[in-house]
Structure 1
Amino acid sequence: MILVVVLVAAVVLGLLGGVHWYLWRRLVKDTTVPGGRGRRAGTAAAVLLPLTTVGALVGGRAGVPFAVEQALAWPGYLWLALVLYLTLALLVGEAVRPLLRRGLAARATAAGAPRDRGAAGPAAAPEAPDRPEPAADAPADAPVAAGATPGAASAAAGAAGAAATGTAASAGAPASAGAAASAGTPASAGTPASAGTPASAGTPASVGTASDASGTASDVPAAASDSESVSGPAAGPDSDSGSTSASGSASASDEPSTGAGPSGAPLSRRLFVARTVAAAASAAAVGTVGYGLNDVLDGPALKRVTVPLAKLPRAAHGYRIAVVSDIHLGPILGKAHTRRIVDAINRTQPDLVAIVGDLVDGSVADLGPAAEPLAGLRSRHGSYFVTGNHEYFSGAAAWVDHVRELGVHPLENARVELPGFDLAGVNDISAENQDPAQEGPDYGKALGDRDTARASVLLAHQPVVIHDAVRHGVDLQLSGHTHGGQLWPGNYLAALANPTVAGLERYGDTQLYVTRGAGAWGPPVRVGAESDITVVTLASRQA
């Protein structure tokens, strides 16, 4: 058993580690400059926030002071919810990334197409025909050949000055900056000037080109890389070098500006896409968590459902039970949360209040004051309580005694006869696993000797015990535990472990109603599973 626990813990930690590495890569590494303040701050957050989550999860059981547990709970649990929705949003972003890149590439192509079709611009001049080499002792004032460009005249003048060394510049080619041709070796005709040398009139200077073995410059442009700059004249971080034209020939740097980095340099295409996806994913995650947080802090919604019972007498027709579950008082949800729930229940003026487990996440010493508003519950036939699995993490015996002091009646494998039906309650199935001294559910004790002609309603925290209820002839079981999944898509996981996630369903002659609960465990956030208090109205078929 210990080995299984260790293996499960290792798998969970490995999964969480992998998820956080993925988030760090997409939100920090891909969007920031190495060594920059953004990179350092993002990396620090990626380490510290998971630590607060671990502290919030284990703090209560580790015996840390309740004040420390409260301090860790808000950032730790909210980060847990953000991790879920950041991961989901970024996974969607993986499908969007190639579409963005293709869109940017198509825009760059469209922007460059008109200049490519209009070849009459300042493109490279046609290569001059080969001319015979001038004699080494050519006079300095040698005339320039007819039809030569102004740049050729300038080159010819320079060649005359270099005649003493036997070096001549080819007609129609500007000389390279600071470079002297070797004795008796003329420069190839049509060779463009190297970087840093102003081009002669009408001759564009090509950046970063090199002559081949025969002295002819390569005219093939460098292919644009995936991280090619999408704006401005210079590539931003993480971009690859491309070729640019001093005379304004078409290139990626001619695209419309889409943003700039911190130093004013344009963003590379890769960086632009990474930041766009990260920003959109972050906005979606924060908005979703904010919406879910408001759902919990604003208090549960009120639902009403009518359940017909074949054995219910006409006198009990319309009997109203206010069902509330999973209040989860703890380091985040406290006395104000309890008061909101009590006020909402009292406004419905129920005949009976049923608290179906998971009232607390902590000890009576820490959370006793938070539960005190339960003493204000008002109903015609009182309030009843059964334990949930979280009570056994928090000292179930002490909580059973405390709720009794508040005027709420615990049903520990017990039953009471009410006008028109029997109300029974069983302990949660986790009791024996958490504490061998505690008694688990005992259906014989709760239901064994009752009058089967009377209608029966069973309070049981977990829906999975419905089959036991069916075997014992229960007419209606009221449960909680699932939270309705609490955080979408958690409802799909909850459906794997529970016969009913939320709502009313029938199993043979027994009906099961599962409330989504009035609080939240862990993150005080609900998405796709609104918190609720349900007023169940019993209906007689004889009415």
Structure 2
Amino acid sequence: MFALVVSLVVGTLHLYPWKRIVLDNTTRGTRGRRIGNAAFLTLLLVMITALATGTSVDPEVAQWFAWPGYLWLAVFFYLTLALLVLEIPRLALRPWTRRDAGRPRDGLSRRTLLTRGSAVAAGAVAVGVTGYGVSVALGPPTVTHVPLRVRRLDPRIGGFRIALISDVHLGPILGRDHTRRIVDLVNAEQPDLVAIAGDLVDGTVEHLADAAAPLAGLRSTHGTYFVTGNHEYYSGYREWLDHLPRLGVRPLRNEHVDIRHGGGVFHLAGINDHTAYRFQDPGDIPAAVRGRDPERALVMLAHQPRDARAAAEHGVDLLLAGHTHGGQLSPFEMAVSLQQGAVAGAYDVGGTRMYVTRGAGFWGPPVRVGAPPDISLVELHPA
């Protein structure tokens, strides 16, 4: 259903760049229009196939559609934005184009010259920005050191470091090598605890067990914990919840555990994804905090930042989240902020401190613009 909705929306939006690139710049029945129509239709169908097969088909097969389909999705996004921006000078120059209507120079009227010039410019911008974004997305995640002050935190725990990983999205494009790179970066920091805040996979255990296997190599003082993201529910979440403990990763399912360190104690809680109720596996903050000691700090893992308000109502001191990818494709972060109330970085929500990581992978296009991949090393200090 998710892939179907996205495909319908993006397919409809293709009408605008198709009109501006093909319809406005070619004559009906010409070879150029036929080629343009075929190219747009082929790219759209490949993109829809990539969306439809991303979590259900063996990555060895799905990658043949994922690479061209998702790259086109990014090019289409920036092509549409560039064309919309260029509508402004086109409108401003309309009186200029009308002055030589019917009197083309060198076979091209001013209107045709402007229309084709803006199409070429938009295409160049889209391809250039996408190419830059590919180099960022496929590069190593940055390790961001984040000191945070947490109320109720025992001073003896001051300096406790949590390696926060989110949104790895193992699947047709990212595989075992990417997981190993993340594990090496985390282990080099020697964290006290590792937290995986969901969207680890885009596919089944059968297809991605080998890609996830390097997670068994994560090393920290207090182990690795995991909460589900929305994409686990598209990928056979029950199988993953059974499989991850074999890699030394403990799922937190609307529950909390005590972390004892340096003579002090704090609670570490985890809740199921905000949308998990659609799969009869809802997140339950009251259950996760039940039985807590109100004198001790409570740190909660949640996939989506929009759980922060409810977490604040239940006395959570620090919420660690992901999901947003930092927007992934700027300026998409504006829509993310409206939907989630956060994009990336530290926030205060109703007295609860929240930190949102940009994520260590990507979903869909192997492209990141304005939001490089990130592993966050969160250092806790008493407030």
Are residues 1:484 and 2:326 paired?
yes
Write the mapping of 1:214-229 to structure 2, written as runs, cut at 5 A. Answer: 225-226=100-101, 228-229=103-104
Q: Tell me which amino acid in the other structure corresponds to 2:204.
A: S
Q: How far apart in 1 are the matches of 2:118 and 2:201?
A: 40
1:503 maps to 345
Closer, same or farther: CA 55–490 of 1 in aligned 2, 3 Å: same
Which protein is richer in helix relative to its size? 2
CA drift of 1:11 comes to 10
- TM-score, normalization: structure 1? 0.65
CA drift of 1:508 comes to 3.1
CA root-mean-square deviation: 2.4
Are residues 1:393 and 2:234 paired?
yes
1:85 maps to 78
Tell me the number of residue pairs that the alignment of Structure 1 and Structure 2 aligns: 379
1:424 maps to 269
1:128 maps to none
Are residues 1:277 and 2:118 paired?
yes
Are residues 1:304 and 2:298 paired?
no
2:293 maps to 451
Write the mapping of 1:354-373 to structure 2, written as runs, cut at 5 A. Answer: 354-373=195-214
CA drift of 1:282 comes to 0.4
Highest relative contact order (Cα 8 Å, sep 6+), 1 or 2? 2
Are residues 1:42 and 2:36 paired?
yes
Contact 1:424 1:446 in 2 (8 A): yes
Write the mapping of 1:163-174 to structure 2, written as runs, cut at 5 A. Answer: none
Q: How far apart in 2 are the matches of 1:303 and 1:487?
A: 20
Residues 61-93 of structure 1, C-alpha deviations (whole Å, 9 max, x = no match): 6x5554432211111111111111111111122
Q: Tell me which amino acid in the other structure corresponds to 1:47.
A: L
Q: Tell me which amino acid in the other structure corresponds to 1:425.
A: G
1:529 to 361, 365, 371: 371
Tell me the secondary structure at the aligned position of residue 528 of structure 1.
coil
Which protein is richer in strand relative to its size? 2
Are residues 1:513 and 2:358 paired?
no
Are residues 1:25 and 2:24 paired?
no
Contact 1:322 1:345 in 2 (8 A): yes
Write the mapping of 1:454-469 to structure 2, written as runs, cut at 5 A. Answer: 454-469=296-311
CA drift of 1:312 comes to 1.7
Identity over aligned residues, as a percent?
Answer: 52
Closer, same or farther: CA 230–411 of 1 in aligned 2, 3 Å: same
Q: How far apart in 2 are the matches of 1:454 and 1:65?
A: 46
Tell me the secondary structure at the aligned position of residue 120 of structure 2.
helix
Contact 1:227 1:269 in 2 (8 A): no
Residues 389-426 of structure 1, C-alpha deviations (whole Å, 9 max, x = no match): 11111111111122211111211222221123111111
1:295 to 136, 139, 144: 136
Q: How far apart in 1 are the matches of 2:93 and 2:142?
A: 41
1:338 maps to 179
Contact 1:296 1:520 in 2 (8 A): yes
Write the mapping of 1:187-336 to structure 2, written as runs, cut at 5 A. Answer: 225-226=100-101, 228-231=103-106, 236=107, 267-336=108-177
CA drift of 1:285 comes to 0.6
List gaps (5 residues or longer) in structure 1.
106-223, 237-266
2:69 maps to 76
Q: How far apart in 2 are the matches of 1:29 and 1:364?
A: 45
CA drift of 1:442 comes to 2.7
Closer, same or farther: CA 11–451 of 1 in aligned 2, 3 Å: closer
CA drift of 1:325 comes to 0.6
Q: Tell me which amino acid in the other structure corresponds to 2:267.
A: D
Closer, same or farther: CA 73–98 of 1 in aligned 2, 3 Å: same
User: Which sits farther off after the overlay, 289-298 or 268-277?
Assistant: 268-277
Contact 1:427 1:441 in 2 (8 A): yes
CA drift of 1:429 comes to 2.8
Q: How far apart in 1 are the matches of 2:95 and 2:111?
A: 11
CA drift of 1:528 comes to 2.3
Q: How far apart in 1 are the matches of 2:58 and 2:288?
A: 39
Tell me the secondary structure at the aligned position of residue 25 of structure 1.
helix
- TM-score, normalization: structure 2? 0.91
User: Which sits farther off after the overlay, 322-331 or 416-425?
Assistant: 416-425
1:470 maps to 312
User: Which sits farther off after the overlay, 331-340 or 91-100?
Assistant: 91-100
2:380 maps to 538
Q: How far apart in 2 are the matches of 1:227 and 1:276?
A: 19
Tell me the secondary structure at the aligned position of residue 375 of structure 1.
helix
CA drift of 1:471 comes to 2.5
Larger Rg: 1
Contact 1:482 1:502 in 2 (8 A): yes
CA drift of 1:272 comes to 2.1
